C-alpha cells in the first residue's frame, strides 16, 4: 500500500513539474513574440538602392539617417561596374539604382528594353583628362595615344571635351552627346584613340603610365585617390548634360519611399555635403 501511495505521489509530482515547465515555455514564447513586436518598428520601409562606391554610395550614406527619420531603412548595395546595377533593378533585386548619367541611362533603355524612368537628378561628375607625361592637352605630341573607356555612351562626352580644348573638330551639326570617333573631321595632331578598356580600369592604366593621356570618369578617379580638379590636365565644364540620376522601374517613381529618397537627396543637407566633401569634383544638379 505504501509503495502504491509513494508511486502515486511521485507520478503526481512529475506531472506538476512538466505542467509548470510547459506553462513557462508558453509564457516565454509569448514574451519573445511580444518583444519581437516591440522591437520591430512599425511602418518602416526597406529601400534597396544599388550604387557605385564613390561618390554615389557616399552620398547615400549621408542620406541614410535623414531617411530613417521618415521611416525608411536605406540599404545600399555597392557595384563596381556599369552593367549589373540595371540588371539587378530589372530583376527586382533593387528598388532603385544610382550610378549612371542620363545619356547612358537612355542608351541602356534603347539597347536592352528596360522599362525604367528617371526619378530625379542628383549630381554631375565632371570627366577629366589625366597625363603623367604632359601638363596640358596642347603639349601632346603628334600621333599621341589617348586611352578612353569602352562605354560608347561616354565617347561623345569625351570628344566634346577634346573639341572644346581645340584638340579635334567634330562634324558640323552632330549631336555631341551621341558623337563617335567617326564624327571627327579635323584631327591636326593625328591623335590615336584606344577604346578597349572598362571605365573602372582607367585609373590603374593612368597609374601604370600607359598612353599619353587617359580620360577618366570622376567617380573612378576619386575612388582611386585622384582629385579631378587638381590632377587632371583638362576637365569638363559645369554645363555638362551628363547628370547622374536615381533610376527606378516605371511606376515606382510615384512610391512614397522613392519620393522621400529624392526629397532627401535634393535637400540642403545633401547639397552642402557634396560641396564640402568633393570641392567641385562633384557638383549638385538640383
Radius of gyration (Cα) for the chain, nearest Å? 29
- Is 91 within 8 Å of 229 (Cβ atoms)? no
Nearest to 63 by CA among 282, 274, 285: 274
Give the C-alpha separation, 140 to 253, whole Å.
46
Please enumerate in sequence order all residues whose Cβ is within 8 A of that of 285, keeping only pairs 6 or more positions apart, or say none. Answer: 121, 122, 123, 124, 243, 244
Domain spans of the chain, in order of start: 45-125+242-284, 128-235
- Is 213 within 8 Å of 219 (Cβ atoms)? no
Query: Residue 169 forms beta bridges with which residues?
Result: 186
Q: Which CATH architecture is the domain 45-125+242-284 placed in?
A: 3-Layer(aba) Sandwich (3.40)
Helix (H, G, I), strand (E, B) or coil at 141: coil
Instruction: Tell which wins on pLDDT, 217 or 14.
Output: 217
pLDDT tens for each residue of 7-36: 443 444 444 444 444 444 444 433 322 333
Q: Which CATH class is domain 128-235?
A: alpha beta
Mean pLDDT of 104-115: 96
pLDDT tens for each residue of 31-56: 322 333 333 345 789 999 999 999 99
Under the banding of pLDDT at 50, 70 and 90, the label for residue 71 is: very high
Instruction: Tell which wins on pLDDT, 159 or 241.
Output: 159
Under the banding of pLDDT at 50, 70 and 90, the label for residue 145 is: very high
Cell numbers placing 194 = 584606344
Of the chain, the percentage scoring pLDDT greater than 90 comes to 80
What phi and psi, each to the nearest 5 degrees, are found at residue 201? -85, -15
Mean pLDDT of 93-120: 96
Asked whether the domain spanning 128-235 has the same topology as the one spanning 45-125+242-284, the reply is: yes
Whole-prediction pTM value?
0.77
Please enumerate in sequence order all residues whose Cβ is within 8 A of that of 234, keeping only pairs 6 or more positions apart, or say none. Answer: 128, 129, 136, 137, 161, 165
58-68 vs 256-265: helix axis angle to the nearest 10? 120
pLDDT confidence of residue 42: 56
Q: Environment class of residue 176 by beta-carbon count within 10 Å: exposed (0-12), middle (13-18) or buried (19+)? A: middle
State the chain's mean pLDDT as an integer: 88
Amino acid at each position: 500500500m505504501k509503495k502504491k501511495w509513494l508511486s502515486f505521489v511521485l507520478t503526481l509530482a512529475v506531472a506538476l513539474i512538466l505542467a509548470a515547465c510547459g506553462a513557462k515555455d508558453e509564457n516565454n514564447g509569448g514574451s519573445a513574440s511580444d518583444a519581437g513586436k516591440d522591437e520591430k518598428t512599425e511602418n518602416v520601409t526597406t529601400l534597396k538602392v544599388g550604387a557605385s562606391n564613390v561618390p554615389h554610395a557616399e552620398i547615400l550614406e549621408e542620406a541614410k539617417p535623414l531617411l530613417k527619420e521618415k521611416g525608411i531603412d536605406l540599404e545600399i548595395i555597392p557595384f563596381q561596374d556599369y552593367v549589373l546595377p540595371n540588371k539587378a533593378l530589372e530583376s527586382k533585386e533593387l528598388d532603385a539604382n544610382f550610378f549612371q548619367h542620363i545619356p547612358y541611362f537612355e542608351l541602356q533603355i534603347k539597347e536592352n528594353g528596360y522599362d525604367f524612368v528617371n526619378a530625379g537628378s542628383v549630381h554631375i561628375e565632371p570627366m577629366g583628362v589625366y597625363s603623367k607625361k604632359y601638363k596640358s592637352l596642347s603639349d601632346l605630341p603628334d600621333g599621341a595615344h589617348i586611352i578612353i573607356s569602352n562605354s560608347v555612351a561616354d565617347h561623345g562626352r569625351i570628344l566634346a571635351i577634346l573639341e572644346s580644348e581645340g584638340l579635334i573638330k567634330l562634324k558640323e551639326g552632330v549631336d555631341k552627346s551621341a558623337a563617335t570617333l567617326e564624327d571627327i573631321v579635323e584631327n591636326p595632331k593625328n591623335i590615336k584613340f584606344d577604346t578597349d578598356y572598362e571605365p573602372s580600369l582607367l585609373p590603374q592604366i593612368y597609374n601604370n603610365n600607359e598612353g599619353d593621356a587617359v580620360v577618366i570618369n570622376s567617380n573612378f578617379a576619386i575612388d582611386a585617390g585622384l582629385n579631378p580638379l587638381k590632377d587632371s590636365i583638362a576637365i569638363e565644364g559645369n554645363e555638362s548634360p551628363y547628370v547622374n540620376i536615381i533610376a527606378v522601374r516605371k511606376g515606382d517613381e510615384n512610391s512614397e519611399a522613392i519620393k522621400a529618397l529624392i526629397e532627401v537627396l535634393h535637400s540642403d543637407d545633401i547639397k552642402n555635403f557634396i560641396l564640402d566633401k568633393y570641392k567641385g569634383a562633384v557638383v549638385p544638379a538640383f
